[in-house]
Amino acid sequence: MPRSRRLPVVAGSLALVAALSGCSTTIHLGPAESANDPACAEVSVLLPDAVGDLDRVWTDAQATGAWGDPTVVLRCGVEPPAPSTEVCTTIGGVDWLVLDQEEDRQRLVTYGREPAIEVIIRRGEEIDFRTVVESLSTSIRSGLQPATARCTDRVPTDDAPDEGSTEG
């Protein structure tokens, strides 16, 4: 190809690449305090491409994931919660404390795992809360550190037999 014809082709290719990269949205998130924990790297590589009907979007913070616009946000490396009277449930083989049930969001934190993982789900969306948490739990379970504590007063779920509840 003559040199005079290559320039428009190269320029057009560069413009196309620039236009396509402009369509890619990166969500700004703040990393958790212990996001650099090697265990968070194990979890990060297991994050699913979608949760429910929500596709993954890219984030600019270490050990985070987001789906939707973002409707669901995950951060690894948050402070592990102490024993609590909050609702605790096992979904997808992972114990979760259900925290901050606010009008606009639902926040969960893994219980008995260090580093802990936080999931925030925006309310008001047409999503199934349980499907989202189940999908995330199932995807990341193999990368989690072994549990050092378990929920003692469980909310029964379909995926785990009722082990009875104890005060604790």
Model confidence pLDDT, tens digit, residues 88-127: 999 999 999 998 677 789 999 999 999 999 999 998 767 8
pLDDT of residue 71: 94
Q: Indicate the average pLDDT of the chain.
A: 81
pLDDT band of residue 31 (cuts 50, 70, 90) is very high
d(CA 20, CA 102): 37
pLDDT band of residue 129 (cuts 50, 70, 90) is confident
For the chain, what percent of residues have pLDDT higher than 90? 62
**Beta-sheet pairing, 94-99 with 64-67:** unpaired
| In the predicted structure, residue 155 carries a pLDDT above the cut 70 | no
The residues facing 56 across adjacent strands are: 67
| In the predicted structure, residue 86 carries a pLDDT above the cut 70 | yes
CB atoms under 10 Å from CB of 59, counted, come to: 19
Written as one letter, the residue type at 17 is V
- 57 or 124, which is more confident: 57
**The three-state (H, E, C) secondary structure of the chain, written as one string:** CCHHHHHHHHHHHHHHHHHHHHHCCEECCCCCCCCCCHHHHHHHCCCCCEECCEEEEEECCCCEEEECCCCEEEEEEECCCCCCCCEEEEECCEEEEEECCCCCEEEEEECCCCCEEEEEEECCCCCCHHHHHHHHHHHHHHHCCCCCCCCCCEECECCECCCCCCCC
| In the predicted structure, residue 51 carries a pLDDT above the cut 70 | yes
Q: Supply angle C-alpha 92, 144, 119, rounded to 5.
A: 65
| In the predicted structure, residue 1 carries a pLDDT above the cut 70 | no
What's the token pair of residue 10?
Answer: 């190269």
